[in-house]
Amino acid sequence: MVSKKITLKKINLALQGGGSHGAFTWGVLDALLEDGRFDIEGISATSAGSMNAVVMAAGYIKGGVEGARTYLKQFWREVSDAGSVFCPVSNLAVDNPFSSFIPKWMTPDWLGMGINLGGENPAMQMMTALAQNISPYQFNPLNLNPLRDILDEMVDFDALRRNKDFKLFITATNVRTGGSRIFTSSELTRDMVLASAALPNVFQAVEIDGEAYWDGGYVGNPSLWPLFYETDGIDLVIVHVNSIVQNTLPKDAMNIEDRVNEITFNSAMLKEMRAIGFVQKLLQRDMLKPEYRNKYRDVLMHAIRADSVMRDFSMATKLDTSWPLLTRLFDAGRKTAKSWADENFDKIGKMSSIDLEKDYLNIAVDEKSKVK
């Protein structure tokens, strides 16, 4: 029997950050790699998404598809092991696998306080109040960051810079200007990846070429435009971790802060989506002047969304690096990605599988969707 040759379909990926919820993206990537029908060309990513992108690429260089899958699992296993040494405490750290690095002995139980401030984690709540008034330059003067050691161990950045299998675009925020900086594969270093995940209430700014950088989520979570201009593929798949719509009104401090962060970290992406929708209309209606037509191209948009999945995971789980939680998120990511691939594979290269206006830009508010 002659085996049927699989025709690969080229896609570009946009990976959001989201703390430990980045394990959902791990599951998505694992499923897409296992599927075998996709040719991943470019990856734009921020924070936890950047970690996933860089580790996947490093694993692929070492051992192809199976190497990429193995590296991703190893990375999250090491994140879990490192997280068990520390007590995550800051509810502001929604975009890093670790929120802070306060030893476990600094908990209310150890202090004998016996105080329950409400919510799921009294230690987190207590230290959150401190984190709002104490900077990482004070509580972490040595600038400790387990992610630095994990990246040093797992990623050969020299090989990554030479590699042509994936085009990587890693976003960070310039502290001085407030603008975005996109670090590309050919220049990528460990510090650039750490900068993409440097939440200012948790980590000291990362200095690169004389400039200080913070988490990229403020200016692009993730940045979409590099995938339009720097790749050949026309299909862009956004892997969401942060909910766009929240149907429950947050009423406690942690969940209010969580929703504020979701809105903040989605805003830059939604602005880009509006720009995409505008250009698409101009192209469809042939409204561009001849001299501008070659500068723009129609992009097919797709999304793997975690909204329904994340309803089962509270704010505290963004800071939880326990292995059972990470593997549960991984399983959810795999299941969601498999369903998406089965439903939308035939649309790749032909049409978008989402409606920008309906699904993102003009989200209707009816009686069922109002916050309660």
Mean of pLDDT values over 200-227: 92
**Assign residue 3 a region: left if phi > 0, alpha if psi is -120 to 50, beta otherwise?**
beta
Mean of pLDDT values over 280-293: 62
Instruction: Give the strand pairing for 235-239 and 300-304.
Output: parallel
pLDDT digits (tens, 9 = 90+) for 182-196: 999 999 999 999 999
* Contact (Cβ atoms closer than 8 angstroms) between residue 40 and residue 53: no
pLDDT given at position 268: 81
Q: Is 315 helix (H, G, I), strand (E, B) or coil?
A: helix
Residue 285 has pLDDT above 80, yes or no: no
Direct distance between the N- and C-terminal alpha carbons of the chain, in angstroms, rounded to an integer: 59
* Contact (Cβ atoms closer than 8 angstroms) between residue 119 and residue 256: no
Mean of pLDDT values over 69-91: 76
207, containing H or E segment: strand 206-208
pLDDT given at position 86: 41
Question: pLDDT band for position 372 (50/70/90)?
Answer: very low
| Residue predicted with more confidence, 275 or 126 | 275
pLDDT given at position 262: 80
Residue 278 has pLDDT above 90, yes or no: no
Mean of pLDDT values over 224-234: 91
Residue 362 has pLDDT above 50, yes or no: yes
pLDDT given at position 283: 59
> How far is it, in rounded angstroms, from Cα 293 to Cα 155?
41
| Lowest-pLDDT range of 73-82, 284-293, 302-311 | 284-293
Q: How far is CA 165 from CA 39, 56, 109, 119, 302, in A?
A: 10, 11, 50, 45, 22
| Lowest-pLDDT range of 20-29, 187-196, 328-337, 357-366 | 357-366
Encode burial over 85-122: b for 16+ CB neighbours within 10 A, e otherwise. Answer: ebbbbbbbbbbbbbbbbbeeebbbeeeeeeeebebebb
> How far is it, in rounded angstroms, from Cα 260 to Cα 350?
36
